[in-house]
Amino acid sequence: MSQEKQVIQKEQTAPEKIAKLNVLIPSVDIYENTEEYLLYVDIPGVNREDISIDLDNGQLTLTGNRYLEQSKGQLMEEFSSAQFRRVFSVPQGIDLAKVDAELTDGVLRLHLPKSEAVKPRKIEIREG
C-alpha cells in the first residue's frame, strides 16, 4: 500500500510531458555526376545522433529531431523544437555499402554512390 501511495504522489508532482514536435520539411539540393548522387539537406540545430537515414526498396527517408530548451522570459519563438522529415524515391543502382553521410554546420551531406553496373562507360573499339 505504501508503494501505491508513492506512485500516486510521484504522478501528481512530476507528470510526464509528451510534447508533439512540429514536422518541418527541410530544404534539399540534389546533384548528380557520373560517380554519385549528392544531397545537401538543411537541418539547423539537429545533432548527429538525432538523425535517421533509411534506404529501403528504392525509398530514402530522412528524419531528424531538434530539441531546444525554452528560456525564461522568452517573448517570441520562431525557432523551436521540431522534427525534420523528407522522403525521396531513388533510382536503382545505388551501392549501399558505400553510402556516406556527414553533418557540418547544420547541413547534412549525403553521398549515394552509383554501382559500377549503372555508371556510364566508354567502349573501346578493337582492330579486327
3-state class of 120 per DSSP? coil
Query: Hey, how many other C-beta atoms are within 10 angstroms of the C-beta on 124?
Result: 5
pTM (two decimals): 0.74
**Structural domain count of the chain:** 1
Q: Does residue 13 sit within a domain?
A: no
pLDDT computed for residue 127 by the predictor:
87
Domain assignment of residue 60, given as a range: 19-69+79-116
Q: Does residue 110 sit within a domain?
A: yes
Q: Does residue 9 sit within a domain?
A: no
Q: Does residue 51 sit within a domain?
A: yes
pLDDT digits (tens, 9 = 90+) for 84-120: 999 999 988 899 899 999 999 999 999 999 988 777 7
Q: Does residue 7 sit within a domain?
A: no
Q: Does residue 58 sit within a domain?
A: yes
List helix spans (H) across the chain. Answer: 2-13
Residue 59 maps to which CATH number?
Answer: 2.60.40.790
63 phi-psi bin (left φ>0, alpha ψ -120 to 50, beta other)? beta
Residue 16 is classified by DSSP as P
Percentage of residues in the chain with pLDDT exceeding 70? 85
Cα 79 to Cα 82: distance, rounded to the nearest angstrom: 9
- C-alpha grid cell, residue 10: 510521484
pLDDT digits (tens, 9 = 90+) for 12-43: 443 444 467 889 999 999 999 999 999 999 99
